[in-house]
Chain A
Amino acid sequence: MNVTSSVREPLINGGKTWADITNDICRQVEGKPSKSWIIAFTISVLLLGVGVFCVMYTWFVGIGVWGLNKTVGWAWDITNFVWWVGIGHAGTLISAILLLFRQKWRTSINRAAEAMTIFAVLCAASFILLHMGRPWLGHWALPLGNTYGSLWVNFNSPLVWDVFAISTYLTVSVVFWYIGLIPDLATIRDRATNKISRLIYGIMSFGWNGSAKDWSRFEAVSLVLAGLSTPLVLSVHTIVSMDFATSVIPGWHTTIFPPYFVAGAIFSGFAMVLTLMLITRKVFKMEDYITLAHIESMNKVITLTGSIVGVAYITEFFIAWYSGVEYEGYAFINRATGPYWWSYWAMMTCNVISPQLFWFRSVRRSILATFVLSIIVNVGMWFERFVIIVTSLHRDYIPSSWAYFSPTWFDIGDYANSFGLFFTLFLLFSKFLPVINMAEVKAILKSSGDVQTGHGKTGSAVSDKESVTHHS
């Protein structure tokens, strides 16, 4: 039997039974949408509408509607791309790496975090298409022999690696997420009271019936997918960082970029998971499943990765001076004191100083503080990408071509589009699919439930019976 030390905090509170888990998590899937959901969904769709207009305008007119100029050729587009991809990384970290490490607290949050991954990667991909300027020629990035001869894509280019990395990442994330959903969709199908939902969830659940042989295969698939996703997620942000690191731009040409970017990605992703989960647990009343123990664990990951990012910033600065390269040194002095000093210090404050507050247990376990800090971290991580991209580009080797980038309304509108898309998809997910992995939470109930481990008050007769069988 699976035994967990009694020192460990329970991960499921409220003396839940297996049936309670099913009821609690299916409730919002089966019920009518709540008022707060409808309001949030309306706002998201409106935002998406404005965003789609801006994106269409950008497509028709061209990326000249952005604030780009001859010197700053990448700005908000690539900033937003890297930011969204980075956010996606937390979902894979939670579902894959924490699975390999056998972290049980992953079970309550992995479903929503993976959904977040998929939606974030879609948002990121939208910027990749958009920044091409002519998105209808996006397939030119694929190795298709073209009509002008057999000229192929250049496999030495990190931009081509990125095409493969992002599309593989999106595909594998969707597959991993969907496979995990199948048993829970079957639960909803088996409970469905009307024909339409039985039909739809029946098709979506692929006919799953929970036989022991299927579970055994399911577990093998989950484990191998986790093993594949772990190096995959590390490779994705490594390759994203190589988009910069393999160039010769001072400020980009840095060997620490891959680990520094991966740490930053997990840092921002966990912050986004917290922002979303704190709202979800409140709105859907899931406080018993996403407990303070979960929040504290995530905050610890934020402190760790935030500190890695801080060390990376300082290392970059030190190496810029230590290398003795004039351009490199100037790029960094310019970051901190040049025209974009405010973005540099916004990044330093949000990413290096603010997560250090989580060293205090009371801050780690405060919902309000966690919520505020999770947003601050994401603001900071957006500024990090902005600093890396724009401040490295805007003053290049020839002072006569130095320039300043300011966003236009279309820069802002296209960014708003990604928020509209992200929240619309997330809200649809949270209404129609189970936001918590029921099967996995049920599987850890005996080893991590409060009553079952003797933490909570022994209340109902059912709980008593279960705790007895647990110790037998």
Chain B
Amino acid sequence: MSEVKSYLVGVFDDDDVLLNAIRSLREQGLKIVEAFTPFPIHGIDGALGLNRSRLPQVAFMFGATGLTCALTLQISTLGYDWPMNIGGKPHLAFPSFIPVSFELTVLFAALGMVGTFLLASGLGPGSQKTIFDPRSSDDKFILVFDPAKNDKFSLEEITSMLKSAGASEVNIKDIVEKH
């Protein structure tokens, strides 16, 4: 089933204006759906009240998995499955296990974290996330509002609040949402 939903889209020309606008609009009680920007803006997470990404912890978990796999592989093959006498050295020569353990830790951490990132953000080949204004990948900064969630204010009120916060345009965008 799909339905058409209207969003109010504020277009800003500058990242600092956008940051100040986010802060003041949220103080005034407006609920922002999402901001879209052409490049990462420092401080926008705090302004929007977003939680810090937990991806570094994910990377750590995958890294630990990689380390465990690498050590298991090396210890089980050279130590137990088929011990080889190499120059009379110990079968479990841990110093020479360091390089492979390190490489697999890095490999698992990197792939695991990137995979989690793509999954969490819904990114992938063929995926199409909603684009409210294509100029947001060029030089415009977009703030999106859901009028239904801001029923304390009328559309005109939100528009004038956006304009006074520095928006250069305010548009209404209809999005077909699939359920």
Contact = CB atoms under 8 A, between A and B. Distances in A.
Contacts of B139: 17-19, 22, 442
A439 B138 CA distance: 9
14 contacts: A149-B82, A155-B74, A165-B99, A168-B104, A202-B128, A208-B137, A209-B130, A209-B137, A211-B129, A212-B41, A220-B56, A224-B55, A439-B38, A469-B14
A239 B126 CA distance: 39
Given A150-B81, A164-B103, A190-B138, A210 B37 contact: yes
A288 to B, nearest CB: 16
B128 A439 contact: no
B93 interface: yes
A168 B103 CA distance: 6
A187 B42 CA distance: 20
A152 B114 contact: no
A152 B37 CA distance: 51
Given A151-B82, A155-B96, 7 more contacts: A154-B78, A203-B126, A206-B125, A207-B124, A209-B131, A210-B38, A221-B117
Contact of B138 (A18, A212, A235): A18
Contacts of B41: 212, 215, 443
A45 interface: no
Contacts of B48: 212
Which of A182, A229, A443 neighbours the largest number of chain B CB atoms within 10 Å of its CB? Answer: A443
Interface stretch (B3-11, B23-31, B105-113, B151-159): B105-113
A153 B138 CA distance: 51
A413 B117 CA distance: 43
B99 A186 contact: no
B55 A221 contact: yes
A24 interface: no
Interface of A: 1-2, 17-19, 22, 143, 145, 149-156, 158, 160-161, 164-165, 168, 171-172, 175-176, 179, 182-183, 186-187, 189-191, 202-204, 206-221, 223-225, 228-229, 231-232, 235, 239, 242, 438-440, 442-443, 446, 466, 469-470, 472
A190 B40 contact: no
Contacts, number: 199
B168 to A, nearest CB: 11
Given A203-B125, A224-B55, A469-B14, A212 B50 contact: yes
Contacts of B110: 171-172, 175-176, 225, 228-229
A116 B97 CA distance: 30
Which of A204, A217, A472 neighbours the largest number of chain B CB atoms within 10 Å of its CB? Answer: A217
Nearest to A172: B110
Which of B37, B86, B106, B135 neighbours the largest number of chain A CB atoms within 10 Å of its CB? Answer: B106
B91 to A, nearest CB: 10
B35 A212 contact: yes
B113 A183 contact: no
B121 A217 contact: yes
B81 A213 contact: no
Given A155-B78, A208-B123, A175 B114 contact: yes
A151 B77 CA distance: 8
Nearest to B60: A224
A23 B82 CA distance: 61
Contacts of A235: 99, 102-103
A442 B126 CA distance: 27
Contacts of A149: 82
B120 interface: yes
B53 interface: yes
A371 B37 CA distance: 38
A1 B17 CA distance: 12
A18 B93 CA distance: 56
A382 B41 CA distance: 43
Given A161-B100, A220-B56, A232 B106 contact: yes
A210 B74 CA distance: 43
A168 B97 CA distance: 16
Contacts of A209: 36, 129-132, 136-137
Given A19-B139, A212-B37, A213-B34, A221 B114 contact: yes
Contact of A217 (B53, B84, B102): B53
B137 A472 contact: no
A207 B128 contact: yes
Interface string B76-99: 011001101010010001001101
Contact of B16 (A1, A210, A212): A1
Given A171-B111, A221-B55, A164 B104 contact: yes
